[in-house]
Structure 1
Amino acid sequence: MTTASPARGTALPWSGLLALSTAAFTAVLTELLPAGLLPRMAPALGVSEARVGFLVTGYAVASFLAAIPVTAALRGLPRRPVLIGTLLGFACADAVVALSSSYAVTFGARLLAGVMGGTMWAMLAGYAARMVPAERRGRAIAVVLAGITLALSLGIPAGSALADAIGWRPAFGTLAGLALLVVVWIRRRVPAFPGELPGARVPLRRVAVLPGIPAVLSVTLFLLLGHQVMYTYVAPFTAHTGYGRTDVVLLVFGAATVVGIWATGALVDRWARSTLLGALTLIVTVMCVLALYAHSPAVLLTSVAVWGVAFGGAPTLIQTALVNASGPQHADVATSLQTTVYNAGIAGGSFTGGLALSGWGAGALPWTALPLVATALAVVVLGRHTFPTAPDAGPPTTPRSNTPLQDRPAIPPPPAPTPSASA
């Protein structure tokens, strides 16, 4: 079932956006669920817990390597079949994990899932942007990316609890079934969009240097570097403060990210630049407070809550800036670049935090994260044209509909790109 072209001033296409959000939820669960099931999966697969942990690593590496080339190879195909294909790939991979007793087969299934993940993440934001008029683009992206936050804060604990109750194999089987249900949902409620026509495809290297894209990718990299320095080693830092309750700290952070993405959805379409500046400023401030005053439990938990609110909204704000810079027609390729940079930031931040922890101790972690996040803030401050106060309100891309061709209004060609100063 498809919908007609979105009209300005109409309500958001909630069913379609929630279908995309559930797809994101499914992808995150597929990626991270093994991390909470190491002791259960290791005996069944006949390997150590460390090797089961490599199932998460293999997924991430495959996603990192596949995002750009697979997205570039598929950019000419109709978008909905590609999205459905990635979900069917998740369903197959999760079903194999649920049934396999071979570590090698299971690892191969995880590599397949990683390729599907890299492809899906490159599509979701651009798909959401094409479903709504430009003035609602940020809110649509926020709805879709909320699936990530809900998966991290609620889905992973719920998946681990389900595995405790019925076993880890049925848990992966349930995840495969969820992917199939989302396929049906997307087929019925998400509009079909064409792929890029051969004459309209901008080479990947030209997309990468469109005005604003390098600055947005820089902000993505430095924010993730700084965030992961702290988040990866939150347990030793919590112990360093004397509080010791890592579970409470993570719970506070997870709940706060839900608040952050909700608040961002309400603000992003009217005050995108100011909200992003505020979020990054809050994270910089939190790193300073954690470095100086985290030995007080009240200060620690309050700071973590503020950090969660600020970081929960930051990906939506950055993703919206990326789509605004690339235009929805090039969003898949631009987002594939961001997916690669995002994963590089996660890996680099974890590595950098490990060096700081081993060299100077947990107390050095906030000081290590501070200049990295401050660099991201500086890029936004200097990039007034890269991070404007509102998106370009150009005409949204029109999905295919069941309306006869002769009855459809004429669709104006996309506007030619206009020169814009970058950061």
Structure 2
Amino acid sequence: MSDVAIASPARVRATMPWPGLLALFSAAFAAVMTELLPAGLLPQIAGALGVSEGRAGFLVTAYAVASFLAAIPVTAVLRGLDRRPVLVGVLAGFAVLNAVTAVSSSYAVTFGARVLAGVMGGVLWAMLVGYAARMVPAERRGRAIAIVSAGITVALCAGIPAGAALASVSGWRWAFCGLAGAALVLIGWVWWQVPNFPGEKAAARVPLRRVVVMPGVRTSLGVTSLVLVGHQAVYTYLAPLARERTSVVLLVFGVGTVAGIWVVGAVIDRFPRGALVVVLGVVAGAMAVLGAFGGAGGVVVGAAALWGMAFGGVPTLLQTALVNVAGAGNADVATSLQTTVYNAGIAAGSLAGGVVLEGAGAGALPWTAFPLVAAALVIVVGARRHAFPVRGRAWPGARPARAPRTTGGTAGCR
């Protein structure tokens, strides 16, 4: 399906549709809060539900696993439906399931609510990037995606600590009540300010397997996997690497990610390839510095600052590249693939980092990440034609739309 067929000129604005993009930003914020807030409230939740903290931790695991498993199949099933009702349905699901979590005294009921909330999260993450891309002209996609993705960073850096602080004062149940109420407000905001887009008609729908084999898609997903495995192998075990400076390093890293996503948002539409090359080079350099001088406290803090600034923009750059390769019409399916790869990379990185930590110690962690990030950088530099084209070559998603084909089931493949 061509981009023109998806969004009429009346719907895609020449200027940035800030109210709608901020609604999607808030949806991303709410999703991260729903997923990760229990991690900071395990003692309180465990006591209220009469289980161990380990079993309470499974509430976070259940959400993540459900999100991982649901992203591709559920998104594929919902491709034919109008986009705004699906988004509103997901937010309504968050409202109901967070309310159930807030009032439940049964671990089984709470666990079930978390599984269903994870399904909602998988659908939401597959939608948000594509939605942002379809709300703006092709030349503004990167900035739109950066605005929406910033909701993740703000939730991690400010939302989770604020939610934990609120829970310590008023109780964890009120924190989930707040999330349920926020989701209800978001439903009205989305219906008012976010444009509706039609789903893909069956005759024009590009099958999942054809999206996977589009030029550049697998390369983009491969780079995503390499970067996430390397990043997570170190980040998960930052405490034994930073030792007594852990809190400072985490703070510096978090502030760096906020700065990084802001800088990338300012340049991504003009220099998408160059920005990605630079940030991956900085991440690889930070890993090398941590590996060589990890024992020096000041070096750890400085390297973490650079690492955070560079990595803050990596997800947005990779998401934008994938949307541009697949085209906005296939963005939901493409980003559902990336969501699955992203979560798989997090899991694999955490596992690999744990094995390295047990076998060789914390000092070996950066050297585990360095070759993976360096390999991703080499791939990006070499993928000059499709996945990460050089400046002056149009992104596939930015080319003038062709009329949909009517044979072979390949409408919209460009």
Alignment TM-score > 0.5, same fold: yes
Distance in 2 between the 1:49 and 1:211 partners? 46
The corresponding residue for 2:398 is: 393
Distance in 2 between the 1:188 and 1:418 partners? 33
Distance in 2 between the 1:322 and 1:271 partners? 15
User: After superposition, what is the alpha-carbon deviation per residue over 1:224-252, rounded to whole angstroms, capped at 9, x for unaligned?
Assistant: 0000001100011111xxxx121111111
User: After superposition, what is the alpha-carbon deviation per residue over 1:82-129, rounded to whole angstroms, capped at 9, x for unaligned?
Assistant: 011111111111111100010000000000110000000000011000
1:131–1:77 CA distance, 2 compared to 1 (3 A): same
The corresponding residue for 2:216 is: 212
TM-score by length of 2: 0.93
Q: Is the 8 A contact 1:133 1:395 kept in 2?
A: no
User: After superposition, what is the alpha-carbon deviation per residue over 1:17-44, rounded to whole angstroms, capped at 9, x for unaligned?
Assistant: 0000100000000000000001111110
The corresponding residue for 1:383 is: 383
Read off the aligned partner of 2:326 and give its amino acid letter: S
User: After superposition, what is the alpha-carbon deviation per residue over 1:321-354, rounded to whole angstroms, capped at 9, x for unaligned?
Assistant: 0000100000000111111100000000000000
1:105–1:418 CA distance, 2 compared to 1 (3 A): closer
Q: Is the 8 A contact 2:82 2:196 kept in 1?
A: yes
Distance in 2 between the 1:417 and 1:35 partners? 42
The corresponding residue for 2:10 is: 4
* TM-aligned CA deviation for residue 359 of structure 1: 0.5
Distance in 1 between the 2:187 and 2:310 partners? 32
| Aligned partner of residue 200 in structure 1, secondary structure | coil
Structure 1 gap ranges (5+): 397-411
| Aligned partner of residue 270 in structure 1, secondary structure | coil
Q: How does 1:324-335 map to 2 (within 5 A)?
A: 324-335=324-335
1:266–1:153 CA distance, 2 compared to 1 (3 A): same
Percent identity, please. 63
Equivalent residue in structure 2 for 1:221, among 218, 225, 249: 225
The corresponding residue for 1:195 is: 199
Read off the aligned partner of 1:235 and give its amino acid letter: A
* TM-aligned CA deviation for residue 6 of structure 1: 2.6
The corresponding residue for 2:3 is: none
Distance in 2 between the 1:84 and 1:345 partners? 29
1:192–1:163 CA distance, 2 compared to 1 (3 A): same
1:395–1:161 CA distance, 2 compared to 1 (3 A): farther
* TM-aligned CA deviation for residue 66 of structure 1: 0.4
Equivalent residue in structure 2 for 1:234, among 234, 238, 242: 238
Distance in 1 between the 2:404 and 2:190 partners? 26
User: After superposition, what is the alpha-carbon deviation per residue over 1:204-263, rounded to whole angstroms, capped at 9, x for unaligned?
Assistant: 111111110000000110000000001100011111xxxx12111111111110000000
Q: Is the 8 A contact 1:3 1:191 kept in 2?
A: no
Deviates more, 1:315-324 or 1:365-374: 365-374
The corresponding residue for 1:294 is: 294
Distance in 1 between the 2:346 and 2:256 partners? 20
User: After superposition, what is the alpha-carbon deviation per residue over 1:20-76, rounded to whole angstroms, capped at 9, x for unaligned?
Assistant: 010000000000000000111111000000011100100010001000000000000
The corresponding residue for 2:90 is: 86
Read off the aligned partner of 2:247 and give its amino acid letter: D
Distance in 2 between the 1:161 and 1:188 partners? 32
Q: Is the 8 A contact 2:214 2:413 kept in 1?
A: no
* TM-aligned CA deviation for residue 298 of structure 1: 2.0
User: After superposition, what is the alpha-carbon deviation per residue over 1:281-333, rounded to whole angstroms, capped at 9, x for unaligned?
Assistant: 00000000001112222211111011001110000000000000100000000
Read off the aligned partner of 2:369 and give its amino acid letter: A
Read off the aligned partner of 1:175 and give its amino acid letter: L
Deviates more, 1:147-156 or 1:371-380: 371-380
Distance in 2 between the 1:141 and 1:349 partners? 25
The corresponding residue for 1:43 is: 47
Distance in 2 between the 1:277 and 1:29 partners? 31
User: After superposition, what is the alpha-carbon deviation per residue over 1:364-399, rounded to whole angstroms, capped at 9, x for unaligned?
Assistant: 100111111112112101111211236343469xxx
Read off the aligned partner of 1:318 and give its amino acid letter: L
Distance in 2 between the 1:219 and 1:358 partners? 27
Q: Is the 8 A contact 2:204 2:404 kept in 1?
A: no
Q: How does 1:125-136 map to 2 (within 5 A)?
A: 125-136=129-140
Q: How does 1:93-104 map to 2 (within 5 A)?
A: 93-104=97-108
Across the aligned residues of Structure 1 and Structure 2, the Cα RMSD in angstroms comes to: 1.6
Q: How does 1:52-201 map to 2 (within 5 A)?
A: 52-201=56-205
Q: Is the 8 A contact 1:256 1:305 kept in 2?
A: yes
| Aligned partner of residue 198 in structure 1, secondary structure | coil
Q: How does 1:217-296 map to 2 (within 5 A)?
A: 217-239=221-243, 244-296=244-296
Q: How does 1:6-21 map to 2 (within 5 A)?
A: 6-7=12-13, 10-21=14-25
Distance in 2 between the 1:367 and 1:313 partners? 22
Distance in 1 between the 2:332 and 2:372 partners? 27
Q: Is the 8 A contact 2:224 2:338 kept in 1?
A: yes
Distance in 2 between the 1:4 and 1:146 partners? 26
Distance in 2 between the 1:395 and 1:79 partners? 23
Deviates more, 1:75-84 or 1:372-381: 372-381
Distance in 2 between the 1:55 and 1:335 partners? 25
Q: Is the 8 A contact 2:204 2:412 kept in 1?
A: no
Q: How many residues align?
A: 397
| Aligned partner of residue 11 in structure 1, secondary structure | coil
Structure 2 gap ranges (5+): 1-7, 406-410
TM-score by length of 1: 0.91
